[in-house]
Amino acid sequence: MSVPAEAELGLQGEATIFVAAELKEHLQQQIAAGAKAISLKGLTALDGAGAQLLLAARRSHPDLRFTSCPEPIRERLALVGLDALIIGGEER
């Protein structure tokens, strides 16, 4: 099964150390299926482990975009200087 190029995956809930293994597998499956954009609007929490997974996905797949980042998650990424690397120039 493949995902159309314009298809967008959405992450829900927490992206934390407690679910890092599941999140990594989920991201890998969706990217392998052809997802080009991942919506972050459903994220309620993000820690260093979650940020690392998002950054690794972005670095491994430069065409991958993260969209619809909630302001609290954007602020957390900005605190550690990862906002530009993970969500880039996404409009608010």
**Is residue 1, in this structure, part of any structural domain at all?**
no
CATH assignment at residue 31? 3.30.750.24
Q: Which of 4, 8, 5, 3 is nearest to 39 (CA)?
A: 8
pLDDT value for 15: 95
**Is residue 2, in this structure, part of any structural domain at all?**
no
Give the pairing of strands 65-67 and 8-15: unpaired
Q: Which of 69, 73, 61 is nearest to 30 (CA)?
A: 61
The tally of domains found in the chain comes to 1
Whether the model pTM is above 0.85: no
- Residues of the chain falling short of pLDDT 70: 1-8, 89-92
pLDDT value for 23: 93
**Is residue 17, in this structure, part of any structural domain at all?**
yes
With a CB cutoff of 8 Å and minimum separation 6, the contacts of 90 are 65, 66, 67, 68, 69
Q: Give residue 56's domain range.
A: 8-86
Give the CA count within 13 Å in the CB-facing half-sphere of 34: 7
**Is residue 16, in this structure, part of any structural domain at all?**
yes
